[in-house]
Amino acid sequence: MKTPIFTLSLLSLLLVACGGGGGGGSSSSMPDMETGGMEMPSEADSNNGDEGPRAGHSSQPVTITLTDETGDITSQEVLSYLRFDIGGGPYQAGPDFSYSDDPGLARFVIAPTVRIAQGTPDHERALIHHAVAVINRELPHQWHLQIGSDAPPLAVIESIPNNQIFVDFAPYDDWNDPLKGSSRPDSEAIAQIDVTKEYDSSQLRWEKKRMNKAHVWMSSETDLTDPILLSILIHELLHTLGIYGHADADEFPDSLMRDSELLVTQRVPEVDGTVLRAIYTRYNPGTEPEQISVNSLGPWESTETNLTGEIGSVSFGVSHRHGVSVPWTNGPTPNVALAENPSILGTVTWNGGLVGFTPSEQPVSGGAEISVNLSTLTGRADFTDLESWHAGQAPGRLGTGSMWGDGDLGYTLSVSGNYLRSTGGDSGTVAGNFYGNDHADVAGSLERDDLTAAFGASR
């Protein structure tokens, strides 16, 4: 029997830059790319005149496979991670700093809105958009973070409305965080959070009940590369979404939550993404560590269905597991930003294909064309000849499926660094990366309430 005698909204502090130094080139959990299943015919083979209208979309074929595989993350791993996460600590942050807090799952009650500080340069703005998109890939559509209007810069957390996360890139000295002085010095980033706690008189302890709001402070004075900044930003945002602690390095070596600079080259590490989904789809805010069990976790099917595409140096796909479709992309990181590539000028076009699942797990496939004007860094993403097949079927050649929707979707794009994002067009959100040292390839995700898809294309 629990009688909360106090309810308080308390500020807590989380910090990051954990472990420091790590990073460069470390592998996050890679998707299992073994196909094993059926190799499907090319969908976009411009050399094959009988392929119908999709022919001509690409100078290279997109290889599409549909496979069932055994999921890598066991329910026992999720339970162990969660018990630690909501256990109250102590949590280690770097070799010389640890912190503790009260137990309980502090997650948002509704999908929060991320607001970027006014005046944030477009480069950092693109990183924030991409971090949000990469996290949203891991979550079911109803839990997707939204990006709202710009926020006042350097705001104090008390001024942030509930269910909002402000993000500032600012010099460390300007971080408006009263607890900063007690944190590990020289942090590159901090997730400052506001949590409601209640006193549990039967267990004689305070418990975290929900996440109210948060502020992610990122240092604007580092010379870290974009991929590392992106990884740190995702690590901080995962703290604000309810992953409180830093996963044990021995038990979860691939976790971004044990090392914020573990590069997120293609997706949130599988263990962290799986735990995030469990937090938002299997457990209520305020869940106590003693309530974490195989029974409360619920059905945990070991099979996942993967729809995978490959073109040029990139692979991309959608992995359906535990009732959620997760898009991902992978490829070699370019050495310079797209606009700094001296060998491409004017308007550049990449052609390829898209694969995805509808909410009822019907596969969808079609052509993808990304074009970017390198002087304005704006462009378009067009997805054409979209067809669907029955759930469990692999997408076949053009014309063998049923037209999906009205057959095409189009978006306007903005590009910064090597990231692209949609700025308008049909409903949904496009987010992607350019890949390869010569920016030969691009891949990304398209997320809508009726389609979760990934695309890849080559110049």
Q: Interface with Zn ion by CB under 5 A: which residues? A: 16, 18
CB of 250 to Zn ion, least distance (A): 17
Closer CB to Zn ion, 97 or 199, in the complex: 97
- Contact at 8 Å (CB) between 194 and 160? yes
How many angstroms separate the CA atoms of 143 and 449, rounded? Answer: 11
Least distance in Å: CB of 328 to Zn ion?
Answer: 23
In this complex, which beta carbon is closest to Zn ion, that of residue 240 or of residue 305? 240
The least distance separating Zn ion from the CB of residue 238, rounded to whole angstroms, comes to: 8
Task: Give CA–CA dist 100/121, Å, rounded.
Answer: 35
Least Å from the CB of residue 196 to Zn ion: 21
- Closest by CA to 336, choosing from 207, 435, 269, is 435
Q: How many CA atoms lie within 13 A of 165 on its CB side?
A: 32
Neighbours of 302 (CB within 10 A): 12
Residue placing its CB nearer to Zn ion in the complex, 257 or 431 = 257
Looking at beta carbons only, is 31 or 245 nearer to Zn ion?
A: 245
Alpha helices in 283-344 (DSSP H): 294-297
In which residue are the tokens 């269905």 written? Answer: 305
Minimum CB–partner distance for residue 244 and Zn ion (Å)? 9
Q: Give the residue nearest to Zn ion (CB).
A: 16
- Structure tokens given for 251: 């038990």
Cβ proximity to Zn ion, 16 vs 234, nearer residue: 16
CB nearer Zn ion, residue 260 or residue 274: 260
Smallest gap from residue 395 Cβ to Zn ion (A): 40
Q: What is the spatial order of strands in the sheet that 189-200 belongs to?
A: 4-15, 189-200, 205-219, 164-170, 113-116, 146-147
Alpha-carbon distance of 146 to 326, in angstroms, equals: 17
Tokens for 115?
């607001």
